[in-house]
Amino acid sequence: MDQFKFRSEHNKMIVDAIVDGYRDYIEHRKDRKAKMKISSAFAWTKGNFIESKVAEECVDHGFTYKKSKAGLTWDYLQFIHGDSKILFLIKNAAYFNEKCFSQAKLPTAGYKKGSHRTYLHELSKINKKLKLTSTQQYSKEQEETERYEQISFFMPESQVRGELESFKSSYNEFHILTYALDEAYQISEIMHYLPNPDDNIAYLIEDLSSLISGADLTEEDREVIAPEMNEDIMDPAAFDIGILEEEQHN
């Protein structure tokens, strides 16, 4: 899998941006808590801060980024390296299941599975041309169910198929990078995966956790985010399904 690793300078840029974006999020939470009577809804904006920081930093390294929509309401960013035509996303590891990446993992006591994230499986089909080794075939029934979910939300099946095929032919590889928080609410793990559409498994390419620096939080930082973490507030991104591209930023 070494051939799928990113360049070391790109890894460092992405890791630093994830840490800095999370720190920006915490500072914003502290500001909102001081100025507002209630600000718990800002707990759902962590991903926006992290992706925005990656977008700020990546343009100096040959990347562009594109805003897309997962489901009906949840926006996220896709990152593209122009020369290699590699597309990658940043995901919260709390909701990411590398053994079945198209299905959200819900980190709550009463639920073990979430919605099918159709857009992740559709994007993973970019990797079909890589001829990755499959350990088990992706269930045709599951794939048809996910396709129906997507079509029922957005557009006729023929239009969906045509646009997705055109989209997938524009890229050579699709990757996913995840970040995880430890018990002190600090970013402690960043992993690089390559999703395989044939078996629905995201294969580990590289553990980037050793590149993490400056992630330590103060007691004041933790006090701002700990209540929501302990109450298992569910990030809407855990339920994202579908894919709908919007605009590109350079």
Structural domain tally of the chain?
Answer: 1
- 150 vs 164: CA distance, rounded Å: 12
State the residue range of the domain holding 206. Answer: 2-249
Handedness of CA 108, 112, 115, 120 (dihedral sign): positive
Q: Which DSSP helix (H) or strand (E) runs through 34?
A: helix 8-35
| 137 band by pLDDT with thresholds 50, 70 and 90 | very low
Higher pLDDT, 45 or 115: 45
- Whether the pLDDT of residue 65 is over 60: the answer is yes
Per DSSP, the chain holds a count of helices (H) and strands (E) of 6, 7
- Residues paired with residue 180 on neighbouring β-strands, in sequence order: 189
Q: Of 190, 195, 246, 1, whose CA–CA distance to 87 is shortest? A: 195
- Whether the pLDDT of residue 141 is over 80: the answer is no
- Whether the pLDDT of residue 135 is over 70: the answer is no
pLDDT digits (tens, 9 = 90+) for 178-220: 999 999 999 999 999 999 999 999 999 999 999 999 999 999 9
Q: Which amino acid is at 233?
A: I
- Collect all residues with Cβ–Cβ distance below 8 Å to 121 and sequence separation of at least 6: 101, 102, 138, 143, 146, 195, 197, 200
- Collect all residues with Cβ–Cβ distance below 8 Å to 177 and sequence separation of at least 6: 14, 18, 88, 89, 90, 91, 190, 191, 192, 193, 208
Handedness of CA 193, 194, 199, 200 (dihedral sign): positive
Query: For residue 120, what pLDDT is reported?
Result: 87
- Residues paired with residue 69 on neighbouring β-strands, in sequence order: 75, 244
| 165 band by pLDDT with thresholds 50, 70 and 90 | low
Which DSSP category does 37 fall into?
S
Query: For residue 157, what pLDDT is reported?
Result: 47
Identify whether the C-beta of residue 77 lies closer than 8 Å to the C-beta of residue 51. Answer: yes
- 165 vs 124: CA distance, rounded Å: 12
- 192 vs 204: CA distance, rounded Å: 6
pLDDT digits (tens, 9 = 90+) for 105-119: 765 544 455 455 578
Query: For residue 145, what pLDDT is reported?
Result: 40
Identify whether the C-beta of residue 21 lies closer than 8 Å to the C-beta of residue 49. Answer: yes
